Every structure is written in C-alpha cells, then in structure tokens.
Amino acid sequence: MNHPLNSWAARDQASVLHPYTNLAQHAETGPLVIRRGKGVRVQDEEGRWYLEGMAGLWSASLGFDEPRLVEAATKQLQALPFYHIFNGRSHEPAIELAEKLLSLAPAGLSRVLFSNSGSEANDAAIKLAWHYHHLIGKPQKRKIIGRERAYHGVTIAAASATGQVANHNGFGLPLPGFLRTGSASHWHDALPGENEADFVARRARELEELIAAEGADTIAAFIAEPVTGGGGVFVPPDGYFAAIQEVLRRHEILFIVDEVITGFGRTGTLFASERFGLRPDLLSTAKALSASFLPISALLVSEKINQALLAGSATHGPFAHGVTYAAHPVCAAVALETLRLYEERDIIGHIAQVSPLLQDGLRALLDHPLVGNARGVGLIGAVEIVADKAAKRHFDPALGVGARVQAAALKRGVILRGLKGDAIAACPPLIIRPAEIEELLGALRGALDDVQAWLEEQGHHPARTQP
C-alpha cells in the first residue's frame, strides 16, 4: 500500500521496527496508526473508532481515558518525577504499592521485586530460583521446566521458558537447561477417548517422568500461566494444578506462577491463583497492575526465598540485581491508584456480572461452521477455527485464516487477535459493558461469516459435521 510520503504511516515504515509483526508484509501495508482512546475504544488517524477487544495487549484493564490515573501521574511528576531504589534508597509510592500488593496477594508471599515488564518479571523469577538454590547449598538445581504452547516473554530466559517455536527459531533459543512438558489443553492434546481426569493424571505422570529422567536435584523451578494466554487461551481442566503442585512439592521444585495476563481480575478473581488453588513461590504481575497507563511489573516473592536472600546478602554482600526504573515513582503512583479503582468500583463484581455474556457468546459460536472449539474464563476467551470439526483439522496455514478473521473483524470496527493455530482471542477491558460485549460478539460472528464466504469462493468448504 502506497502511503503519502510524509504521512504517519510512511514515517513509521521508514523508522520503526515492530514487535510481533511480519516485517516484510508491514513494509507493503504499513501500520494502523492509533491516535486517541476513550473508554473501551480507540480511534485511528483517519477518525475511525474501534472497540478494543484485546485491551491493547491483554492489558488496558480500565480502558483508555481514566482521568484519575492521569491525575495520579501528574501529581507524582510534580512531586518526584524519578528516583531509584538501589543502595537502600526508597520513596513513598514504592513502599505503598508493595504494601498494597502484599495485602492482596496469595498467602506466603512477603516481598516485592519491581521492574518494567512481564518479560522482566519472569526473567527475574528464573534468576531468583537459581539464586535461591545456590544460597541454600544446591547450586546444581538450575533447570527450568516450562510447558508446550506457553508464553512467558521475550528476554532470553523468559523466551527460553516459552513453549512456542517462533520465539526460538533464529534466536539460538532455548538456552540449555530449559525443559518442556505438555500443555494443559485437553482439547488439543488429549489422546483419543481420553477424558479430562485421565488427561490430568497423564500430565502429572509425564511431569514425574521428566523429573526422574533429569534428576530432581538438577531442577530449580516449574513455570506456568494459570490460563495460557498468547499460546491460545487454554483454561486448565479441573484438578490439573492440584496434581502438578503435588509433584513439585515432593521434589522440592519451586513454582513460578506467571500472572502477567491473569492478575487483577481477568479470570474473575483478583489473582487467578485464587481461582485455581495455586500456591506460588514466585508470582509475576504486570499489564493490569497499572491498567497499562505506564510500564511497571512486580514479582512477588515467598518468605522462604526472602529468608534465603537475607542470609545470602549477610554473607555475600549486596543483592546484585535490579533495573534503573524499578518502582519508578510515577509508574508506582499510577499502579497504586489503579488498585484503588479496582476496589472502589468493585471491578471483580462487575466481571462476575458481565463475563457470562462473553463466555456464553463465545460458546454460542460453536454452531458456526468454522468454529471447532470455544473456551475461556472471566473476561478472556477464544474460539478456534477448523476445517473439520470432528477431526479437529485446521486449514492450511498458508491460507492465513486466523489473520483473515482478525482483519474482517477490524473492518467491522472491533480489534481482536489471531493467534497461532487459527485461534481468535478476545480479552476486552475489564470495564466493558453488556452492549459492548454484544457488539464484540456480533463483529466476530460477522467476521467468521466473511471468511467462510471467502474460503468457499476459493474452494475450501469446512466440514459441517459436529464432533
């Protein structure tokens, strides 16, 4: 697409390297330039408004124009626009935010390590797992177990723990010592005739076998998202995490819970750890922590790890980890105000009221010829497009069916996200209202109709047999 020479789009193409973008295609088509936002909607440079059905990147929990967050940032900029927390320095927003997070967190978490992004929080969790075992006299416990289809970020360690080939190919990843076990997706990975209970038992047995093969005395930690996000939005079957945690406890393997997407209400509880009965040793958060108004992440650390860090520092000196903008005072002030808003506006109660509309609406799409699976919890969900429902067979990836549905929804004024495997994800701002959910679902159904019509024009007819 030829854009005017000095347009925003042309200037972007000449200067910006875009994450998670087909760079060759972008050089031809250019960007969608967003210039403002209001509520759950954003506006492009040509004045078109879109319902942001992905909350940006799973993250803009309070929408795009919350005045109290703007005010919190402005006040902090006027008082103390920057200071660090290295060398025993501190400031009020960092202290208040840490206290607030610990008051809300699952039991057993007693300290907060701040950084800037979910990737950094997960990277720090892996690093702390290594450090903890070194400090308690088990330096050989270094291996990290992740899961197929998982996503934990793009730093070298977080990407190594990620279970997606695109994050490894050409980057020389994963690093040695990063192991992989199966995903929690029964729909994708169950054996023929295997029910959920048997699937859960097999996954626990496979983890046990992996640990036995590698040696429990070499494994530092297991990392998992309560609900897999970027890998396709998979909700674990009943009993899955109970079985996994029993194996981890027996072998003294730390549990890193990645709540970068699920933290602060997304699944209908403040932390998804509550919903799924998780007992993390390390818990990473970001995204909705500040409603994504400013970049900040927090790694919540268990007391047993904290005690090891204290003892280690007494012996070895300073805890030599940190980033310049950790607990940046403006970001921390905005995050603290975000947490206040969640409580004052009973965001959890609101999610309980509106999330059934999203979940029921996604499952209603199972009657569509292209939809083979619908899944989700709270205000996160996905449908998966298939060529044959009974066989769970996908279309040829060269057809780009998921991307076409995403593009068709955009034309209908709703931003959704096509994921690998032709899953279409929805993760709207937590403030979304019933009429807006209906709008989102209507655009998704219409987009599916549009792509079905295109497929049939090309001679690709989806099998209509129900599984």
> Under a CB-based contact definition with an 8 Å cutoff, are residues 366 and 187 in contact?
no
Q: Could you give the CA distance from residue 373 to residue 282 in angstroms, rounded to a whole number?
A: 32
The 8 Å CB, 24+ separation contacts for 319-322 are 321/113, 321/124, 321/127, 321/128, 321/131, 322/85, 322/86
pLDDT value, residue 1 = 67
The dihedral through the CA atoms of 99, 104, 107, 113 has a sign that is: negative
Beta carbons within 10 angstroms of residue 95's beta carbon: 14
List the one residue out of 187, 235, 237, 208 whose CA is nearest residue 145: 208
SS3 219: strand
Helix (H) or strand (E) holding 9: helix 8-13
List the one residue out of 114, 111, 146, 155 whose CA is nearest residue 132: 111
List the one residue out of 295, 276, 384 whose CA is nearest residue 114: 295
Averaged over successive runs of 10 residues, the pLDDT of the chain (467 residues) comes to 81 94 92 97 97 98 98 98 97 98 97 98 98 97 98 97 94 97 97 97 98 98 97 97 98 98 98 98 98 98 97 92 98 98 98 98 98 98 96 94 97 96 96 98 98 94 60
- Tokens for 75, please give them: 């006040």
Dihedral class, residue 287 (left if φ above 0, else alpha if ψ from -120 to 50, else beta) = left
> Under a CB-based contact definition with an 8 Å cutoff, are residues 222 and 179 in contact?
no
pLDDT value, residue 467 = 39
Cis preceding-peptide flag for 174 (omega within 30 of 0): yes
By CB atoms closer than 10 A (0-12, 13-18, 19+), residue 117 is buried
Distance of CA 397 to the CA centre of its chain: 24
Q: Could you give the CA distance from residue 411 to residue 407 in angstroms, rounded to a whole number?
A: 6
Beta carbons within 10 angstroms of residue 360's beta carbon: 12
Cα distances (Å, whole numbers) of residue 427 to 72, 257, 397 = 26, 20, 24
List the one residue out of 427, 422, 389, 386 whose CA is nearest residue 406: 422
pLDDT value, residue 6 = 80
List the one residue out of 376, 392, 395 whose CA is nearest residue 440: 376
The 8 Å CB, 24+ separation contacts for 239-247 are 239/196, 239/197, 239/200, 240/184, 240/200, 240/203, 241/276, 241/277, 241/278, 242/277, 243/200, 243/201, 243/203, 243/204, 244/203, 244/204, 244/207, 245/278, 245/279, 246/204, 247/204, 247/207, 247/208, 247/211
What is the torsion angle, in degrees rounded to the nearest 10, for the CA atoms of residue 243, residue 246, residue 252 and residue 256? Answer: 50
SS3 353: helix
> Under a CB-based contact definition with an 8 Å cutoff, are residues 155 and 164 in contact?
no
CATH class of 32-65+347-457: alpha beta
> Under a CB-based contact definition with an 8 Å cutoff, are residues 181 and 206 in contact?
yes
Q: Could you give the CA distance from residue 335 to residue 286 in angstroms, rounded to a whole number?
A: 10
Phi first, then psi, for residue 77 (nearest 5°) are -60, -35
Note the CATH number of domain 68-344.
3.40.640.10
Q: What is the DSSP letter of 86?
A: G
Domain boundaries, the chain: 32-65+347-457, 68-344
- Tokens for 38, please give them: 């209001």
Output the pTM of the full model.
0.96
Residue 180 makes CB contacts below 8 A (sequence gap 6+) with 145, 146, 147, 148, 163
